[in-house]
Structure 1
């Protein structure tokens, strides 16, 4: 068990962080001196990512594999963070699932999976983290991972886009609930991003480079830099907001299917 040497150290929980954007966020947090509790549903990915961060940033990270849609696991995750690092000051609900499907044939089972992880998991992580921050009387920051699909229609992503738009409304609503406790709540909405998953499409980078005004899709580090700013002390007067990070795509919104 790592010793909590600095009682004022920031401690962040990041879900869905075994690779891609979530891992980049953990890495940037660790670079800033934040202790990180890294969660992923894949135990092997969790172990690999945790080992990499602890090697690079000297015992900064606790890996906790598990299902971020499970309310009982979420409460356990908060408790493990407190037991290990002494507190929780940042919670980033990054875990999510994208299940493409035509609206007319989309199944109840697919919708339930998307709703459970993207909304239920994010909602109850925020709830559990806020309760812990209130108990500590330290304030804190909560951040939801939205998407440009919560702003612009995207083929075969009606369910996914719906959940992402809902997260942005949740961030706005929690301003009313949590500001009195010094807790900020924001969201980021990434556009096309080069991750391990999108790399499986050989045309992905080429297509999005053509239709993104800035000339390329984002990297996970691009998203991580903005995310870490929003949960930092430098952003303490920013709450209820969503920051779109898409190289200008939502300003023009050309379809990748055109």
Structure 2
């Protein structure tokens, strides 16, 4: 059963939630009473993640597909409405990281990064905000940024650009969304232990050494920040970016072995 009713009667859509940070956010929202539409590009991951949440007593529907596709985004929002009757929380977590030397970075990788990180987040926000506006009862939107939207990181020129852009999008949309009672913020995670990062045996030692708090974040560290920003406790916070990095951006040593 859900652990609390903080998000009872709320309907959340979380993209890129088959594993990692997105799954932790979706899982905690469901534990606290929200009905969740869970998206991931990987059909198997999406269905397994939704089933795990249901087995724990939560309400969750898988909706796998490409969160960079504008037609799919519209279908996803309408599916949430058809299944749960409304949409009150949206977390644009889907994103892709493609490292590459700036001098050799190719247009194909650039378009993939821009397509999911920017186009997908922008048009999901637009579709969600239109729905929330029509409902007339407000809502919360959260964009997923990164510490590399604040500090330079080797090989991430294109990716970093998208994350800085998402923070500016959150700030700019205060003008459009506030009159409708819709908040929009961003979370900027630092080094975080996920299925992807823990495949690298050097990840924990390096980031533990260079993070002032002595360890990388867990997915629950990021989920806790995300849930706060879409909760009633943060109703007067909008247009902001919350960095969750154990202090790394305060000192910013590079992750070298």
TM-score range, shorter chain: over 0.9
After superposition, what is the alpha-carbon deviation per residue over 1:70-127, rounded to whole angstroms, capped at 9, x for unaligned?
0000000000000000000011000000000000000000000000000000000000
Task: Give the equivalent residue in structure 1 for 2:22.
Answer: 22
Q: Alignment partner of 1:57: what SS?
A: coil
Distance in 2 separating the partners of 1:164 and 1:73: 22
Task: Give the equivalent residue in structure 2 for 1:4.
Answer: none
Question: What TM-score does the superposition give when structure 1 sets the normalisation length?
Answer: 0.96
Matched residue count:
250
Q: Alignment partner of 1:40: what SS?
A: coil
Task: Give the equivalent residue in structure 2 for 1:45.
Answer: 45
Distance in 2 separating the partners of 1:131 and 1:119: 18
Matched, 1:176 2:175: yes
* Unaligned 5+ runs, structure 1: 1-7
Distance in 2 separating the partners of 1:125 and 1:257: 36
Q: Please give the residue correspondences for 1:42-81 in structure 2 after superposition, counting only pairs within 5 Å.
A: 42-58=42-58, 60-81=59-80
Q: Please give the residue correspondences for 1:82-97 in structure 2 after superposition, counting only pairs within 5 Å.
A: 82-97=81-96
Matched, 1:245 2:244: yes
The alpha carbon displacement at 1:57 in A equals 1.9
Q: Please give the residue correspondences for 1:203-242 in structure 2 after superposition, counting only pairs within 5 Å.
A: 203-242=202-241
Distance in 1 separating the partners of 2:57 and 2:70: 30
Question: What TM-score does the superposition give when structure 2 sets the normalisation length?
Answer: 0.96
Task: Give the equivalent residue in structure 1 for 2:186.
Answer: 187
Task: Give the equivalent residue in structure 2 for 1:3.
Answer: none
The alpha carbon displacement at 1:138 in A equals 1.1
Residues 206 and 256, structure 2, Cα contact 8 Å, conserved in 1: no
After superposition, what is the alpha-carbon deviation per residue over 1:172-209, rounded to whole angstroms, capped at 9, x for unaligned?
00000110000000000000000000011111011100
Q: Alignment partner of 1:154: what SS?
A: coil
Q: Alignment partner of 1:202: what SS?
A: coil
Distance in 2 separating the partners of 1:121 and 1:194: 24
Distance in 1 separating the partners of 2:51 and 2:210: 37
Distance in 2 separating the partners of 1:208 and 1:165: 22
* Unaligned 5+ runs, structure 2: 1-7
Residues 216 and 246, structure 2, Cα contact 8 Å, conserved in 1: yes
Q: Alignment partner of 1:65: what SS?
A: coil
After superposition, what is the alpha-carbon deviation per residue over 1:27-83, rounded to whole angstroms, capped at 9, x for unaligned?
11111111110000000000100000000024x101000000000000000000000
Runs of 4 or more, structure 1, over 3 Å off, are: none
- Give the RMSD, CA atoms, in angstroms: 0.8
